[in-house]
Amino acid sequence: MNLRLSTVILPVLRWHEGGRERWQRAEELGFHTAYTYDHLSWRTFRDGPWFGAVPTLTAAAAATERIRLGTLVTSPNFRHPVTLAKELITLDDVSNGRITLGIGAGGNGFDATALRPSDEEPWTPRERADRFGEFLPLLDRLLSEDVVSHDGTHYSASEVRNIPGCVQRPRLPFAVAATGPRGLRLAARHGQAWVTTGDPKLFENGTPEQSFQAIRGQADKLAAACDEIGRDVAELDKILLTGFTPDRPLDSFDAFVDFAGRHAELGFNEIVIHWPLPGTYFGTDEKVFERIAMEAPAQLISGSTGA
């Protein structure tokens, strides 16, 4: 079992008041990747500090040496592929090729309304899927080609230059968040990884077993989407962002090892846990969190080999 453990650091601390130290500690603890959310604001954190993802990751790249960095996830809600591509190429350069772009269609919430007149309705799920279906292939081209032109329904690019391109070739990797058929087809075609948080309908009233079976079904649909285009689903990393299923994997070290081991059986090779934030939904015991970071990967490897 080659299971990687990563973390999400919410961008809520000033850089010189604990922000820098948190990213450096993530590297010290041995996490594979440290991600952050790419939102303008998010849920219960709306009326508190919340910093931008790309500048935060740029600072984190300068403050660390080895750990991968990324977004979970960027969306078209307030991004344009042309400007995003330029920022990502720069970020990939500053980090010396340590960036993963988590990307999805976006959802309702503050990001979906912040740039719109107050009397204008947010995009419907179909509209978000339509935009994502144009956004992602165009971003792929912008990060892979020196000169790109595109005249689409939602996005345009006129002889856009992106030289010298990414440090990572042919471009930095995409981790595509998707559960529906259109998103899964995009993940199959453009992704180097697939991301899920499980089935949101089961979060409050479902059981861990129901969640496990729902995630199994999502993985099966991804495999089918890959089959449609002749791609081996094993080429994609499978990333599970925890915290949005009925399970409670961070209650204890043993609970996490059991949770991670079960989901590894479904093909997941990266589990992402939230950095503790006392007084919030993510108020995990810091000692449990650090023990999971330092000991769980080895425990899972030894368990898979019968040691």
CA geometry: angle 78, 69, 3, nearest 5 deg = 120
Q: CA-to-CA distance for 151 and 157, rounded, in angstroms?
A: 7
Query: Can you give the pLDDT at residue 306?
Result: 37
Strands (E), 138-285: 147-151, 156-161, 174-177, 193-196, 237-241, 270-274
In which residue are the tokens 């144009």 written? 134
Count CB-CB contacts under 10 A for residue 163: 7
Q: Which of 5, 68, 64 is nearest to 34 (CA)?
A: 68
Query: Cβ–Cβ contacts within 10 Å for residue 188, how many?
Result: 25
What is the total count of domains within the chain?
1
- Residue 39 has which token pair? 């939102």
Give the residue-averaged pLDDT of 213-225: 98
- Integer Cα distance of 220 and 203 in angstroms: 20
pTM: 0.96
d(CA 293, CA 275): 10
What pLDDT digit, counting tens, does each position of 38-76 carry?
A: 999 999 999 999 999 999 999 999 999 999 999 999 999
In 98-217, where do the E strands start and end?
99-103, 147-151, 156-161, 174-177, 193-196
Sequence-ordered list of residues with C-beta below 8 angstroms from that of 87, at least 6 positions apart, any chain? 54
Joined tokens for residue 138: 């165009």
Distance from C-alpha of 231 to C-alpha of 126, rounded to nearest angstrom: 26
Q: What local confidence, expressed as pLDDT, does residue 1 receive?
A: 56
pLDDT of residue 191 exceeding 70: yes
Enclosing domain of residue 206:
4-303
Q: Encoding tokens for residue 111?
A: 């990001």
Sign of the CA dihedral with 279 first, then 280, 281, and 285 last? negative
Residue 273: what are its φ and ψ, rounded to 5°? -120, 150
User: What's the mean pLDDT when you consider all of the chain?
Assistant: 95
Quote the DSSP letter at residue 103: E
pLDDT at 102: 98
For the stretch 113-164, pLDDT in tens is: 999 898 888 899 999 999 999 999 999 999 999 999 999 999 999 999 999 9
Question: What are the DSSP E strand ranges found in the chain?
Answer: 4-8, 33-36, 68-74, 99-103, 147-151, 156-161, 174-177, 193-196, 237-241, 270-274
Q: What is the CATH number of the domain that holds 31?
A: 3.20.20.30
Residue 34 has pLDDT above 60, yes or no: yes
Q: Could you read off the pLDDT of 96-111 as tens digits, one per residue?
A: 999 999 999 999 888 9
In the DSSP assignment, the letter for residue 284 is -
